[in-house]
Structure 1
Amino acid sequence: MDGGNPNLPVDWGRYRAVLFDLDGVLTATAKIHAICWKRMFDSFLKRWAAERKMSFEPFDSVRDYHEYVDGRLRYDGVRSFLASRGIELPDGSPDDSPERETVCGLGNRKDAMVGEILASERVDVFEGSIRLVRWLRQQGLATAVVSASKNCPAVLRAAGIEDLFDQRIDGHVASDLGLPGKPAPDTYLKAAELLSVPPAEAVVVEDAISGIEAGRNGGFGLVIGVDRQGDAERLAAAGADIVVRDLVELLPESLSQQEA
Structure 2
Amino acid sequence: MAQASRRDRTAISREDFDAVVFDLDGVITRTAEVHFLAWKRMFDDYLSEWARREGRKQEPFGSQDYQHHVDGKPRYEGVKAFLASRGIELPYGTPEDGPDKETVCGLGNRKNEIFRQLLREGGVRVFEHAVDLVRRLRDKGFGVAVVTSSKNCKDVLEAAGIEDLFDVRVDGLVAARDGLAGKPAPDTFVAAAERLGSRPERVAVFEDAESGVEAGHRGHFRLVVGVDRVGHGPELARSGADVVLTDLAEVEVRA
Where on the TM-score scale, by shorter chain, does this alignment land: which range? over 0.9
Distance apart, 1:92 and its partner CA: 0.8
237 and 56 in structure 1: CA distance in 2 versus 1, 3 angstrom threshold? closer
Match of 1:49 in 2: 51
Indicate the SS of the match to 1:164.
coil
Greater relative contact order (Cα 8 A, min sep 6): structure 1 or 2? 2
Which AA in structure 1 matches 2:250? Answer: E
Segments of structure 1 that go 5 or more residues without pairing to the other structure are: 1-5, 254-260
TM-score (ref. length: structure 2): 0.94
How far 1:252 moved relative to its partner? 6.0
Moved more, 171-180 or 124-133: 171-180
User: Alignment partner of 1:168: what SS?
Assistant: strand
Partners in 1 of 2:65 and 2:40 — Cα distance?
A: 9
The alpha-carbon deviation at position 128 of structure 1 amounts to 0.3
Aligned AA (1:205)? F
How many residues are aligned here? 247
Q: Report the RMSD for the aligned CA atoms in angstroms.
A: 1.5
| Counterpart position of 2:105 | 104
* CA deviation profile, 1:133-159 (whole Å, cap 9, x unmatched): 000011110000000111111000011
In structure 2, what is the Cα distance between the partners aligned to 1:236 and 1:89? 33
Q: Determine helix, strand or coil for the equivalent of 1:203.
A: strand
Alignment match, 2:3:
none
SS at match of 1:163: coil
* Cα distance, 1:122 vs structure 2: 2.2
DSSP 3-state at the match of 1:90: coil
2:26 pairs with 19, 24, 43, which one? 24
1:105-184 equivalence runs, <5 A: 105-184=106-185
Matched AA of 2:20: V
C-alpha separation between the residues in 2 aligned to 1:142 and 1:121? 31
1:141-179, Cα deviation, whole Å (9 max, x unpaired) = 000000011111100001111111111011111111121
Aligned structure 1 segments of 4 or more residues deviating by more than 6 angstroms: none
Question: Given the two structures, how large is their TM-score scaled by the length of structure 1?
Answer: 0.92
Identity of counterpart residues, as a percentage? 53
Q: State the distance in 2 between where 1:184 and 1:244 align.
A: 23
> Does the aligned pair in 1 maintain the 2:12–2:251 contact within 8 Å?
no
Q: Distance in 1 between matches of 2:34 and 2:7?
A: 37
User: SS at the partner of 1:200?
Assistant: helix
Q: Does 1:59 align with 2:61?
A: yes
**TM-fit CA distance, 1:7:** 6.2
Unaligned 5+ segments in structure 2 are 1-5
Q: How far 1:11 moved relative to its partner?
A: 4.1
Partners of 2:113 and 2:179 in 1: how far apart? 23
**Distance in 1, Cα, partners of 2:78 & 2:152:** 15
Alpha-carbon deviations, 1:19-64, whole Å to 9, x = none?
000000000010000011011011111111111111132111x100
Asked if structure 1 preserves the Cα contact closer than 8 Å seen for 2:151 and 2:173, the reply is yes
How far apart in 1 are the matches of 2:57 and 2:163? 45
